[in-house]
Structure 1
Amino acid sequence: MDPIAPSGRQLELVHGDAAVTIVEVGGGPRDYRVGGVAVLDGYPVDAMASHGRGQLLVPWPNRIAGGRYRWDDATLQLAISEAKTGNAIHGLGRWSAWELERVGPATATASFIVRAQSGYPFTVAFRAAYVLGDDGLTVAMTATNLSARPAPVGMGAHPYLYVPGPNGTPARADDALLTVPAERRLLVDEALIPNGDEKVADGPYDFRAPRQVGDLVIDHCFSELRRDPDGRARVILAGDGGAVTVWMDEAWEYIQVFTGDTLSADQRRRSIAVEPQTCPADAFNSGHGLRTLEPGETFTGTWGITPTL
């Protein structure tokens, strides 16, 4: 019997000279290449998704403080999945098998139902529809409450993007000319739970206009996003070899940006994670950006990655 890849079934989408591999475990993209040039800092087929690489984050992104929250006058306790901080992190679908369905050569869906369980007594269906086209990869994520009671829901995604360097080789995070169209950033405590926010204007985290990252350490959630006339907010990583844009529609009110400084030496600052989030960390407690879906209600948000190489 042949071994099974840690990320499960692999489904490749192809459009022109672009190819994206969607995986069964976590439902996200493992690899994205254009003309053989890597866009995503992903992971090999024989490896697990380290540090959330490409994973879809449902029914919440980021962290819940102590894994504990109040709902309908009851205190609910989730399993602690981040030992260092004692928090529950990145939802309940990261290590589960999503159902992959090919729709066409460049289109597919990944579907997963979060079943009612201890700490999250709700049944919610999630679906990601992938389209690879002339403008890059588009991902429409949908949540539908299948429960007989209202359910708290958030969604997120966790792609790491290479900074395009010369001759198709990635540049370091330090060399990125970064644009983050946000007015504010969230402040966090030692457990990385938000405890306030501040304006970015004229400070070290003001990337409203393109600016080189340099040696700045970034692991922050940004809010109050500026949007273009089409309603999309765009984070841009530019380098000598082109640019990569992560865009998101109005459903995504927050963006987490991470330069990877806490990763292992071989991974540190080799790429930048740009994470669309419908709500920030600890939204189950703060309520910020949190969606309460009524029975049968559906919520959809679309984001994408557009490389210009």
Structure 2
Amino acid sequence: MLTLSSAGWQAVLLPDRGAAFARLAHGGRDLLVPVPPGGDPNAGFHGAFLMAPWTNRLDSGRIVAGGREWRMPVNRPLEGNALHGLVRTLPWRVEERAPDAATLACDLDHPPFRCAARMRVALSPAGMLLSVRLSNAGGAATPLGLGWHPFFVRPRGTRLRFAARTVFGRDARGLPVAPRPTAGIEGDDAVLDPLHDAHFAGWDGCAEIAFPDGAALRLDADGAWRGNLQVFAPRAAGILCVEPVSHAPDAANRAAAAAHGAMHSVAPRESLVGSLMIHWRRPPR
């Protein structure tokens, strides 16, 4: 367990469990639903984890790289999908550590993916900065993707606001269908509850989560995380997932999804980089 603190912020990371966040808090107030002591950060609606070398779903685990079809492990057998990538189950190394910042890294060798992942978390009065780099350590260009899957607390009356150009429907297996124009989202429970699990493309990289007491979180994404956003808001679950991602679900297999958010073809020794700044606004006195 790795604990970082600065300017009222506290982040608790689990390097041996995919570098997941077990806790993120400001002034003692939990912003993520905490992972229970001894709990699995990859099971249940809590904490936050990284997704790579793809995000969300791959239909039947299928992906084509180098002119060859590969099958990733299907971990949603009832759906027949491979979900959320592979790095969240790996142990990560702590390469640098200070009271308010840390850099962690891991390596993935699962053909066709040979990757080096590096994550930095830094706390300051300005907020929390999360930056992730996914590098192609193989010998051929490979489709890559990365994302961050936070489970923010969601008391009733929480509002979400962001702008985007396209929203996808989803089929019974959670795969994207029927893209249509949208202005984005602005609203609370009546707006969020029907979303359940929706993908938005053409996202401008900014989102605000406003709590009933007037406090708020502002998310500012950049790099590969500017453009695509997944929102998971299951009714009555008390969580809100606002997930910056580098591509649309199953973009490796669906032309309509790829047209709005393709996986990045990353050349050997090149990298895919995403960053997210989270700002906190105090409730009014």
Same fold by TM-score, threshold 0.5 exceeded?
Answer: yes
Give 1:16 deviation, angstroms.
2.3
CA contact 1:178–1:213 (8 Å) conserved in 2: no
Question: Which residue pairs with 2:248 in the alignment?
Answer: 280
The residue type equivalent to 2:125 in the other structure is D
Unaligned runs of 5+ residues in structure 2 are none
1:212-291 map, 5 Å: 212-214=188-190, 216-218=193-195, 219-226=197-204, 233-241=205-213, 242-252=215-225, 253-261=227-235, 268-286=236-254, 287=258, 288-291=261-264
Q: Distance in 2 between matches of 1:196 and 1:126?
A: 33
Please name the residue that 1:85 is paired with: 79
The alignment's C-alpha RMSD in Å is: 1.7
| Residue identity in the other structure for 1:254 | N
Distance 1:146 1:69 in 2: 18
How far apart, in 2, do the equivalents of 1:74 and 1:35 lie?
51
Deviations for 1:115-164, whole angstroms, at most 9, x for unmatched residues?
1x3xx32311011111111122111110111111111110011111124x
Q: How far apart are 1:13 and its partner, in Å?
A: 0.6
* 1:247 Cα deviation after fit: 2.1
Question: Is the counterpart of residue 142 in structure 1 residue 142 in structure 2?
Answer: no
- Aligned with 2:79: secondary structure? coil
Task: Write the letter of the residue equivalent to 2:170.
Answer: V
Using the aligned pairs only, state the percent identity. Answer: 24
Structure number with higher strand proportion: 2
Tell which deviates more after alignment, 279-288 or 19-28: 279-288
Residue type of the alignment partner of 1:108: A
What are structure 1's unaligned runs of at least 5 residues?
1-9, 164-170, 227-232, 262-267
Separation in 2, partners of 1:87, 1:211 = 31
TM-score norm. by structure 2 comes to 0.89
Contact 2:20 2:88 in 1 (8 A): no
Q: Relative to structure 2, which stretch is displaced further, 60-69 or 236-245?
A: 236-245
Q: Check conservation: 1:15, 1:106, Cα contact below 8 A.
A: yes
User: How many residue pairs were aligned?
Assistant: 270
Where in structure 2 are the equivalents of 1:70-149 lying within 5 Å? 70-115=64-109, 117=110, 120-149=111-140
* Residue matched to 1:64: 58
Matched, 1:29 2:21: yes
* Letter paired with 1:36: G
Shift of 1:211: 2.1
Q: For residues 145 and 298 of structure 1, what CA distance do their matches in structure 2 show? A: 6
| Contact residue 27 and residue 55 of structure 1 kept, 8 A | yes
